Structure formats: C-alpha cells, structure tokens
Homo-oligomer: A and B are copies of this chain.
Amino acid sequence: MSSFHSRKAPKWLKHFITNANNSLTGKYNLYRGKKLNFLKVILILETSVLPTILPWVIFCGMYGFIVTILCKRFDFFNGFTNKNGVLTNAIFAFNIGFSLLLVFRTNTANERFWEGRKLWGSLVNATRNLAQGIYVIVKEKSHKDKVKKEATIRLLVAFAVAMKLHLRAEPLDEQLASLISEMQYLKLKETHHPPLQISLWIRDYLQYQHEHNSLDIYQLTALHNLVNELVDILGGCERILKTPMPLIYSIVLKQLLLIFCLVLPLEIVGDLGWWTGIVTAFITFILLSIEEIGSEIEEPFGHDPSDLPLDVICNTIQRNLEELISLAPSSNEFDWRA
C-alpha cells in the first residue's frame, strides 16, 4: 500500500485511490470476514481464474504470431485477407449465436449463485426462528429440560455445518463434533446423509416435548413447519449442486469460443500485421475470463474465493444462537415500560 501512495501523486489521486481501495476491501471484508489489501483482493480473486485460462491465452497468442509469419513471409491466407470485410458478414451471424450463449451462461451462473445465497440466507432465518421458538415456547420443568433445550438449539448449528460439509463432500469435522454429543457423532458417521439425520433428531425432540406436555400440539406443528423449511433448504442446495447448466450448452459455447479465437487472426492479420498475436491473446483473455468466471460462480458451494462464504455464514448462525442461549433465562419477568 505504502509504495502505491507515492509522495508525488496529486492529492485527489491519493484520495481517489484510498476511496476505491476501501470500497473493494470493505466489500470483501463484509463478504468473507477478512481484511485484505486492495491488490491482494484482486490477486486472490484473479488467481482462481488465471491458471485455467492462461494456457489458452498463450496458445492463441502464439497461434496469432505464427499466422502473421506465414502471412508476411510466405504470402499465405492472401485469398482470405486481401478483401476488406471478407468474413465480416459471416462473422456477424456467428457472433449472434456466440454472444447470445455468453450472455446466457453469465446470467444462468449468476442466478444459481444468488439462489444458493438466498437458500443460505433462509437457513439463517429458519434457524433463528426455530431457536427463538424453542427458547420461548417449550416449557422448562427441570434443569434437564434446559440442558436438552440448549442441546437442540446447538443441533440447529450442527445442521448448518453438516449441510456445508455435505455440499462440499467433506467428512465430519471438529466444529461439528463440538456441537453434538459423542453418541450422535458416531451415529452421524454411519449415515449417508448427516443433515437429514440431524433434522430427524430435532423433530424427535419436538415430538418428545409434546408427549411430555411441554409443547402444545398447535405450536408443535408450527415448529415442525420450520423444520420442513430446513429440509427444503437442504434439498434446494442439493439441486443447485447436482444439476449444472445443461452441459451441452457449455460444450457448444466452448467450441464457439475456440473457433472464434482461431478465425480471428486470419481476419485481422491483414490490417494489424505484427500486432496480431498480442490483440488475439488479449481478446482471448477477455472472452475466456468471462466464460470461466461464469463457470466458477455457478457452483457456489466450494472453496474458491468467489464462492459463497459458507464458513462465515455457519459462524454467524453459531454466534447468534450462542448469544440466545447465554441470555438471562427468566425474561418473562422483564419490567415492561409504563
């Protein structure tokens, strides 16, 4: 940062850079909970894209260079390039299909990303509502009831964590272990679908409380509906994970991208000469990076820097529910403002 704000830069430029800097780092901080330098944010985000597209960019650049040599030295492609606008019309029709698919892929990817985010947002809401409901509604007749209640509220956190691990196809981890009893942990290890098992335990607790007269049948059903919501959210995330954009579209899109980048140098070599390679590489870079970002965004549950910050969301849920548990228990005796 310090090297960036050199002494000679005019004041408004400094102010401007600080501004832009804060905006991006601020957003990144809100999003992933980490404070990072302006350039580091860009670097982190780009690194998830660059390694995949760089080989193609270099390849197309070199191909453009070879085309130039063949054209300049050996008079190749003359039939193609000496007529102004030879391919222009054909290319135009081609561009229709091409840009259409690129728009389509970007929109689809973003919709999937945002739908995933909405589902995790609903998870935050549903766990809050369930925890407040259990906390306020279920009657505590003994200390044991209170312990069970707190364990169930922690099961809600465990549901979120187990869902995160399930979506990432990762094994149970320590955070999860700290939220459930050992016996539950062992049982979870055996099942194929841990979050579903946890939701069953929560239902079990509710039904048990009802049978022991700590929970009215009417409110039991309302709480069951909130558990239904948890299962719906889980199913929604699995749907996004397991159903990619129709694969045939992404195959056709990649084919068109490749063809476009191969035809481009033939078309511009006559005008641009030795610049052909650089311009080709540059345009390849832009188109491929748009395609690649879409490809990354559309699977939002992974560990990529652009993916959803599932760890941050799980921690938010845990913090909220722990605060709820730590509240003074007898809130009913509150003094109401008179």
Q: What residues of chain A have their CB less than 8 Å away from a CB belonging to chain B?
A: 12-13, 16, 19-20, 23-24, 27-28, 30-31, 41-42, 45-46, 48-49, 52, 55, 79-80, 83-104, 106-108, 110, 113, 117-118, 121-122, 124-125, 128-129, 132-133, 135-137, 144, 147-148, 151-152, 154, 180-181, 183-184, 191-193, 196, 199-201, 203-205, 207-208, 211, 216-222, 224-228, 231-232, 234-236, 238-239, 241-244, 246-252, 256, 260, 264, 267-268, 271-273, 275, 279, 283, 286-287, 289-290, 293, 295-297, 305-306, 308, 319-320, 323-324, 327, 331-332, 334-338
Contacts and interface: CB of A to CB of B under 8 A. Distances in A.
Given A110-B104, A201-B331, A271-B83, A16 B117 contact: no
Given A129-B231, A136-B207, A89 B88 contact: yes
Given A193-B320, A252-B293, A283 B99 contact: no
A66 to B, nearest CB: 17
A244 B30 contact: yes
Contacts of A30: 241-242, 244
A183 to B, nearest CB: 6
A260 B93 contact: yes
A306 B93 contact: no
Interface centre among A85, A204, A271 (most CB of B within 10 A): A271
A219 to B, nearest CB: 6
